[in-house]
Amino acid sequence: SGESGAGKTESTKLLLQHIMNLCKGNSQLEQQILQVNPLLEAFGNAQTVMNDNSSRFGKYIQLRFQKNTVKGAKLSEYLLEKSRVVRQDTGERNFHIFYYMFAGLSSEKKEMYGLLDPSLYRYVSGRFGTEDVAQHWKHKYQEVCNALDMVGFQEQEQVDMQAILAGVLSLGNVTFEPQENSVSVKVSETSQGWLKAAAVNVLRLLVCSVPSSSLSSLVSHCHSLSPYADARDSIAKVAYGRVFGWIVSKINELLAENVDPEVELREIGILDIFGFENFAVNRFEQLCINLANEQLQHFFNHHIFQLEQAAYREEELPWETIKFNNNEPILDLLLAKPLGLLSLLDEQSAFPQATDKTFVDKLNSSFKGNLHFQPGRGRVLGFSIIHYAGNVQYTAGGFLEKNRDTLPANVRGLFINSVTPLLSVLFTGKSFSYDGTSHINQAPPWQDLSHSLMVLMERMYSANPHFVRCIKPNSQKEPDVVDAQVVLQQLRYNGLLETIRIRRDGFSWRPSFEEFAER
């Protein structure tokens, strides 16, 4: 655990390499486990203001052993930040894969996918760097292609997948305008070309069986929900999310253990989850990420302080209780039912007339006087939560829409009836979930996250956890610079000063009574 940019993903990769090295094997499986990282990072990581290679999803890697040999592995993913596909804040980028495709695809392939100059695309506009950066992206694209081959993606699947990504970019450039002498809306004249490009890669694959007088009227039918641009962006986000889930599912097929089910395997699990975030503008995604970090901090407190000191009391040892910052009140504020913040969000999301403003009004009246909640200040609609790691001001715009996470039913039907097998598979109403299986995805995103974290916590409570705390040396993304204040702030809010004290004053050697008596 640690802040965004503290080094969690790099530490995870080093830890995996170390474990594979200790296995003393050089099996194909061990190499495959190490080589899926380029694939996951290309589709799941992006540049943010805090980190040039920020994980925009959480992952839990389970390594399964028989004796000292790895027999299989399984990857679980959490809460991919799909909204990044359609919008990035200043100084940030979309997911790496889009840039790698522009840099790495040949001219012929770009023409096949209908890709033009990258600066033309709204979803990635104006975010291209120097020639050195382009060469780096080109190299990364080759890494991704090698990883796709290694994981076992068929050539046609790779073509379909890149066609979907190219179609998503073209779809982002489709705009709408009112139809003359009518209350309906049509695709604007200036974006007809983008519509056709999107249709070649995505829509035409979807709509072969749907009679429609023209592509324009088809998209108007598709976007039966208002506003039209939101529905367009919903298609882009859902398509990307399904591709990512499908990649994880394929990785799990490749890495699954091939042993007798009767054989009991031992397991080491490594959790690399998105770090605590506090940007200039914090949205629904940051709230979900920070909720996950609150739950992990609570688990840390429970294990390091509560269980430890309970054992001392049980043994009737002379012990002065060490106090720690218990973040249970913050979890109650967020998760309590029926009046926690996220329950109120669900309640508001169920009302068609509700708006982000009615949601914020509800929060202000429900949490008046709560020490961990502050009403928004200024003209921006929002609120603040005083988290274990500090005060975060959230912008409430888009909360209800993102929590509903809806895709028009007729659009879903078009995807299901696609003549492209990949699209049909991705949109049969199932999504690929945190436990490696597929499930019908009806729950709001935070509920998906909450449920998957609950399953994860159950696993962790039944295991023997080791905590790797990653500390960010400075806020400027600079090497060889240690900012003492930045470091001290993290040591404080992580509870590491109290942890050092309990380790120093506590009892590190724990023999059983039998061991003690025998000695």
358 has binding-site annotation: no
Contact at 8 Å (CB) between 19 and 268? Answer: yes
**DSSP β-bridge partners for residue 270:** 61
CA distance 31 to 254: 12
Query: Is 5 annotated as catalytic?
Result: yes
For residue 218, which of 201, 206, 235 has the smallest C-alpha distance? 206
For residue 277, which of 56, 20, 477, 122 has the smallest C-alpha distance? 56
4 has binding-site annotation: yes
Question: By 3-state DSSP, what share of the chain in percent is helix, strand and coil, each rounded to 5?
Answer: 50, 10, 35
Question: In which region does residue 65 sit, left (phi positive, over 0), alpha (psi from -120 to 50) or beta (all else)?
Answer: beta
CA distance 45 to 4: 12
Among 12, 45, 48, 54, the active-site one is 54
CA distance 305 to 282: 31
Query: Is 395 annotated as catalytic?
Result: no
Among 275, 382, 397, 495, the active-site one is 275
155 has binding-site annotation: no
Query: Is 27 annotated as catalytic?
Result: no
CA distance 299 to 75: 21
For residue 45, which of 114, 129, 132, 144 has the smallest C-alpha distance? 144
9 has binding-site annotation: yes
Say if residue 352 is preceded by a cis peptide, omega within 30 of 0. no
Among 1, 4, 170, 441, the active-site one is 4
428 has binding-site annotation: no
Among 277, 282, 294, 349, the active-site one is 277
Among 1, 12, 45, 51, the active-site one is 51
Residue found under tokens 């170390």: 18
Strand, helix or coil for residue 472:
coil
Query: Is 277 annotated as catalytic?
Result: yes
Query: Is 51 annotated as catalytic?
Result: yes
DSSP single-letter state for residue 48: -
Query: Is 349 annotated as catalytic?
Result: no
193 has binding-site annotation: no
CA distance 497 to 395: 33
Length of the chain as a residue count: 519
The continuous run of DSSP H or E covering 438 comes out as strand 438-440
131 has binding-site annotation: no
**DSSP β-bridge partners for residue 442:** none
Among 1, 55, 293, 418, the active-site one is 55
Residue type, 355: T
7 has binding-site annotation: yes
Q: In this structure, how many other beta carbons lie within 10 angstroms of the beta carbon of residue 52? A: 13
Which residues have CB under 8 Å from 119's CB, separation 6+? 125, 126, 128
Residues labelled as active-site residues? 4-5, 9, 51, 54-55, 275, 277
Binding site for ATP: which residues? 2-9
